[in-house]
Structure 1
Amino acid sequence: MPAHLSEPDRRAFHEGLRTYSPTLMAIFSWGLVTGIAMSKSVMTVPQALGMSLLVYAGSSQLAVLPLLAAKLPIWTVLLTAAMVNTRFVIFSAGLAPHFAYLPLWRRLLVGYFNGDIIYLLFQKKAFATGYVPGKEPFFWGMAVASWVSWQVSSIIGILLASLFPDNWGLGLAGTLALIPIMVSAIANRSTLAAVAVAGVVSLLLFDLPYRLALPLAVVAAIAAGSATDLIVERADLRRIRNRAGDSQ
């Protein structure tokens, strides 16, 4: 891909690679855990490889494994995966103003390759909406790094699962590896409020069926972040008015 880009776009692509590179070990750990879990479930190796390549969403992949093992109806499996991935609707809405000018097939590719960390790092760049030189190559630099790291680690986990004892606690290791990345994304008070509320809601509702705790936590996080933004804006507006009154 970089060979066909202009020099500015090539630099933006490489910047995306560098921006994403600190997260690679965490993504590799999480992909390895997911691959091992799929291989040790009821899925065959070809089925696990197909899920890794086509689904490319670790949380939903792990969520449906118990349902497949219990031989529940396929609609239950699909509904659970959809509920777990509800957050991607929000991600898509956030990226839409940036890539609305692209043809449909390229927007679909952006949607497939997008992910939690990619979205967070992209938003931290604070690009203007619409076409911006280098913005799309920057996204693809992160997306390629993420996809390759995930698929390599997931496939290793699928093919070599028998070499990893169950008592190694890889699931906890993968989760712990992701925590510093998520914490670094807390950039302001609204983000902090959203994270705090999401954590509390997900813990309180953890025992709900079909992993409903996750989409409900996402909705609660959006509401908390929006409410915090509104409160901060009103407080800033009051301060501005008070300063204007004092100056008069």
Structure 2
Amino acid sequence: MLDRLSDTNRRAFLDGVHTFSPALLATLSWGLVTGIAMTKSVLSVPQALGMSLAVYAGSSQLAVLPLLAAGLPLWTILLTAAMVNLRFVIFSAGLAPHFAYLSLRRRLLLGYFNGDIIYLMFSKRNFPTGFQPGKEAFFWGLAVSSWSSWQVSSIAGILLASLFPDNWGLELAGTLALIPLIVSAIATRSTLAAVGIASIVALLAFDLPYRLGLPLAVIAALAAGTFADVIIDRRAPRTAAITGKGGRGAAARALPDDGGKPHPSGLASAQASAQAGAEAIAQANTPSQQSTPAEPVDPASDASRRDPNRPDTTRTAR
């Protein structure tokens, strides 16, 4: 497979595989837990294998298992799965500008392989939108690593469920393995606000039925991050206007207040801040005519430059 790729795509694909490696333990843990849970529920082994390959979404798979065991109507099960997987709509909206040039068939295929960790790691690369050599190959490096590790561990849990006691706490191991990935993604104040609000909502809504706490936390995180971006964008021109008179240091203080990176929605604010900072630097480096002292004139040196045939008016004046 790799032999058919160009050098750029091959390097990008392997880069994606290497980038996913820190999430391997978390994926293996959650896949194993999901496989064990499916087998120990009302599903048979063939049914569990089919769900693992077709659905490929651990949270929704775990969410519908108690509904299947309770014999609830199909529409309730489908609605629950749709609510839990609502976050994938948000992920797809974030990836759409990057792969809009692809055909519908390839975009649907990318959508099937997309996931939480894949979207997180892909977003951290800050790729420009549109076509870029190696970008799709990098995504596939992440996707193939995630899908293969998930399916291997999930199928292992399905086939070997009887060998794993319930008190091993594999769910906690998967959660702990995800924490470093989440912490590494907090690079801006808006991201920190989104993570904080999502954590609070997830804890408060933990006991809601049908795992509704998960989509509610995603929606709350989206709203918190957007609100933080708006506040930061509004503060940027104010900071520039206030500190623009401060000389050289005003340029640094006038930049956007989120890691020095302007948000797409606040491009105008970032441009205004940069313009104010540039004006401050120009003003600091341009000497004022009023503050520039006149050069002192030495009478002796001035007299030596005079014409010796002209009368010395200074002596006459004295």
CA distance in 2, matches of 1:16, 1:168: 32
Task: Measure how far apart 1:87 and its partner are.
Answer: 0.6
SS in 1 for 2:43: coil
2:169 partner amino acid: G
Residue 142 of structure 2 aligns with which residue?
142
Residue 112 of structure 1 aligns with which residue?
112
Task: Measure how far apart 1:208 and its partner are.
Answer: 2.0
1:200-223: CA deviations, max 9, x gaps?
112112222222221111111111
Question: 2:162 matched to 1:175?
Answer: no
Taking structure 1 as the reference length, what is the TM-score of the superposition?
A: 0.97
Task: Measure how far apart 1:86 and its partner are.
Answer: 0.6
1:44-63 aligned within 5 A:
44-63=44-63
1:219-238 aligned within 5 A:
219-238=219-238
Taking structure 2 as the reference length, what is the TM-score of the superposition?
A: 0.76
Residue 81 of structure 1 aligns with which residue?
81
1:200 partner amino acid: I
CA distance in 1, matches of 2:210, 2:163: 31
CA distance in 2, matches of 1:165, 1:155: 17
CA distance in 2, matches of 1:183, 1:57: 23
Deviation larger for 175-184 or 112-121: 175-184
Residue 92 of structure 1 aligns with which residue?
92
Deviation larger for 231-240 or 123-132: 231-240
2:164 partner amino acid: F
CA distance in 2, matches of 1:2, 1:240: 51
CA distance in 2, matches of 1:60, 1:96: 23
User: Percent of pairs identical after alignment?
Assistant: 72
Higher RCO (CA 8 Å, separation ≥ 6 residues): 1
CA distance in 1, matches of 2:215, 2:154: 25
2:156 partner amino acid: I
**8 Å Cα contact 2:26-2:173 kept in structure 1:** no
CA distance in 2, matches of 1:52, 1:182: 25
CA distance in 1, matches of 2:213, 2:165: 30
SS in 1 for 2:244: helix
1:45-97: CA deviations, max 9, x gaps?
00000011010001111111111111111111111111011111110000000
1:28 partner amino acid: L
CA distance in 2, matches of 1:158, 1:148: 15
Deviation larger for 207-216 or 148-157: 207-216
SS in 2 for 1:129: coil
Query: Superposition RMSD on alpha carbons, in Å?
Result: 1.2
CA distance in 2, matches of 1:96, 1:162: 42
Residue 160 of structure 1 aligns with which residue?
160
Task: Measure how far apart 1:30 and its partner are.
Answer: 0.8
Larger Rg: 2
Residue 18 of structure 1 aligns with which residue?
18
Task: Measure how far apart 1:3 and its partner are.
Answer: 2.1
CA distance in 1, matches of 2:179, 2:65: 23
1:61 partner amino acid: Q
1:188-227 aligned within 5 A:
188-227=188-227
Task: Measure how far apart 1:244 and its partner are.
Answer: 2.9
Task: Measure how far apart 1:245 and its partner are.
Answer: 4.5
1:1-16 aligned within 5 A:
1-16=1-16
